[in-house]
Amino acid sequence: MHELSLCQALIRQAARVAQEHGAPRITHLHVRIGRLSGVEADLLQQAFSSASRGSIAEGATLHFEHSPVRIHCPACARDAEVEVNRLACPHCDHWQTQLIGGDELLLVSVDLGHEREMEHV
Amino acid sequence: MCETCGCAVTDSSSHSHDNTIEVLASLKADNDLTAAHNRAHFNAAGVLVINLMSSPGAGKTSLLEATIEALASRCKIAVIEGDLETENDAERIRAKGVPAVQITTGSACHLDAHMIHHAIHSLPLEDLDLLFIENVGNLVCPASFDLGQHANVALLSTPEGDDKPQKYPVMFRAVDLVLITKTDLLPVLDDFDCDAVADHVKQLANPAPVLRLSAKHGDIAPWLDWLEDKLATRRQKPFTFVAHHHHHTIKPV
């Protein structure tokens, strides 16, 4: 399960951001997963609870945004959304298309909590 | 007006007071940085590095044994072996007179760039022409990690079925060569069509050649030709061989 090592990388990156901004904790993490990234959101979610334990991201909520597989066809100059195992152009059937989306695995943003302020509310 | 933060939303419980920081960084950034560092080591030493991936038991080690027998007289080879446990595969390679480093990953299902970086410092890189990385047997995880190799090769053995590229598109989309192995078994398998494999790979918009081999029968000539071609390109100065990469980068805005 490679989701665990990717999850550790996710937490390291998010912790770096929190540190740069002097934030005491991370409340939400937003991750974009392409359908061709080779990563399962469910497995990443499972890995997150154990990987985040004791870290600045413990207790944070992980949000996923799934991006579809998109291709550009150099033959007919059109873009299309396609299935993960069928990257040929659905318009003109040309097979040597270019992937323009769907293989991403990105930490999009991090929500930093300011615990002390919240305590006074 | 919200009393907590002074924003325009009236109810303080309906929105977050968290500070959202946009990051837009790949989760593979650390691995990719080390992979680039490994590739720089390989390029400086002038060694061609091939990452072999497949299901467990597709014949990676047998292919390497046959390849070493065919090429060892004119080419200096070393192997990095990745397995969950045991030193068995490295011992098979060393028995052929070639240096082998075994990486035992424990529970990890793939090799990553850091493990390779550690391993290459125990190999005489400067003296090598060709370094094979035999990845952990698995069609899922190894596809996600760049190691610094120059080419990715997937083995698909005939008993596994010809629809593997459809089932594992992440792996088969990103390889530079597909080797159909154990073709000596084709006469007893009535449902494996080599042309179907080639068609499925093409459906992934991947122009990788699909070659047919039987290491058992010593029938690996098309693979040796492919390797010789890559080695010839590797020897050219200036170094021009660039691996086939499909990842695109998204820059923060």
Residue B173 is assigned to a structural domain of this protein:
yes
Name every residue whose Cβ is closer than 8 Å to that of residue B238 and which is 6 or more positions away in sequence.
none
> What residue ranges do the domains of chain A occupy?
3-69+102-119
pLDDT in tens, B225-241: 999 999 999 888 555 44
pLDDT at position A2 is 84
Residue A69 has pLDDT above 50, yes or no: yes
Q: What is the pLDDT of residue A1?
A: 63
CATH of the domain at B102: 3.40.50.300
* Most distant pair of Cα atoms in chain A: their distance: 62
pLDDT value for B8: 54
Put simply, the answer to whether A13 touches B246 (Cβ < 8 Å) is: no
pLDDT tens digits for A73-118?
Answer: 999 999 999 999 999 999 999 999 999 999 999 999 999 998 644 4
**Angle CA B152–B153–B157, to nearest 5:** 155
DSSP B63-76: HHHHHHHHHTTTS-
Q: What chain B residue is nearest to A106 in terms of C-alpha separation?
A: B26
Helical H segments across A1-121, by residue range: 3-20, 41-51, 115-119
Exposed, middle or buried by CB within 10 Å (0-12, 13-18, 19+), for B238?
Answer: exposed
Cis before B238? omega within 30:
yes
**Could you tell me if B7 and B15 are in contact, meaning their C-beta atoms sit under 8 angstroms apart?**
yes
% pLDDT > 70, chain B: 86
**Is a pLDDT exceeding 80 seen at residue A57?**
yes
Residue A105 vs residues B12, B32, B53: alpha-carbon distances, Å: 33, 13, 21
Q: What value, to the nearest 5°, has the Cα angle with vertex B83 and ends B234 and B116? A: 40
Q: Looking at the complex, does the CB of residue B22 fall below 8 Å from at least one CB of chain A?
A: yes
pLDDT at residue B247 is higher than 50: no
Write out the residue range of the structural domain in which residue B100 sits: 41-235
Residue B68 lies in a domain: yes
Cβ atoms B134, B82 nearer than 8 A: yes
- The mean pLDDT of chain A is 92
Cβ separation of A2 and B144 shorter than 8 Å?
yes
Q: Is the pLDDT of residue B107 over 90?
A: no
Give the architecture-level CATH label for domain A3-69+102-119: 2-Layer Sandwich (3.30)
Q: How far is CA B134 from CA B28, B33, B192, B211, in A?
A: 21, 21, 25, 19
Chain-chain contact of A38 with B112 (C-beta, under 8 angstroms): no
pLDDT at B12 over 70: no
Report the C-alpha gap between A121 and B21 in whole angstroms.
23
Distance, CA of A67 to CA of A34 (rounded, Å): 5
Q: What ipTM goes with this model?
A: 0.87
Average confidence (pLDDT) over A12-40: 95
Rounded to 5 degrees, φ, ψ at A72 are -115, 135
Count CB-CB contacts under 10 A for residue B124. 11
**Which residues of A are less than 8 Å from B30 in CB distance?**
9, 12
CB-hemisphere CA count at 13 Å for A13? 26
Predicted confidence at residue B227, as pLDDT, reads 97
Helix (H) or strand (E) holding A80: strand A79-82
User: Does residue B242 sit within a domain?
Assistant: no
Measured N-to-C along each axis, helices B221-235 and B60-71 cross at an angle, to the nearest 10 degrees, of 60
What pLDDT was estimated at residue B106? Answer: 84
Residue of chain A whose Cα is closest to the Cα of B24? A108
Residues in A touching B169 (Cβ below 8 Å): 36, 84-85
pLDDT of residue B7: 52
Query: Are the beta carbons of A109 and B203 separated by less than 8 Å?
Result: no
Q: Is residue B150 part of a domain?
A: yes
Task: Please name the helix (run of DSSP H) or strand (run of DSSP E) that holds residue B30, with its range, or none.
Answer: helix B29-45
Rounded Cα–Cα distance for residues B135 and B81 (Å): 7
Q: Report the pLDDT averaged over residues A2-22.
A: 93
User: Confidence band (pLDDT; 50, 70, 90) for B201?
Assistant: very high
Neighbours of A50 (CB within 10 A): 9
Number of structural domains (chain B) is 1
To probe the interface with A, which of B24, B27, B140 has the most A CB atoms within 10 Å? B27
Q: Give me the residue from A28, A88, A108 closest to B18, CB to CB.
A: A28
Supply the DSSP symbol for A60.
Answer: P
Indicate the SS3 state at residue A11: helix
Q: Does the pLDDT of residue B243 top 80, yes or no? A: no
Q: What percent of chain B has pLDDT over 90?
A: 80
Q: Which two tokens stand for residue A7?
A: 């999850």
B30 touches chain A (CB under 8 A): yes
B85-99 pLDDT, tens digit each: 999 999 999 999 999
For B134-189, what is each residue's pLDDT tens digit?
999 999 989 889 999 999 999 999 999 999 999 999 999 999 999 999 999 999 99
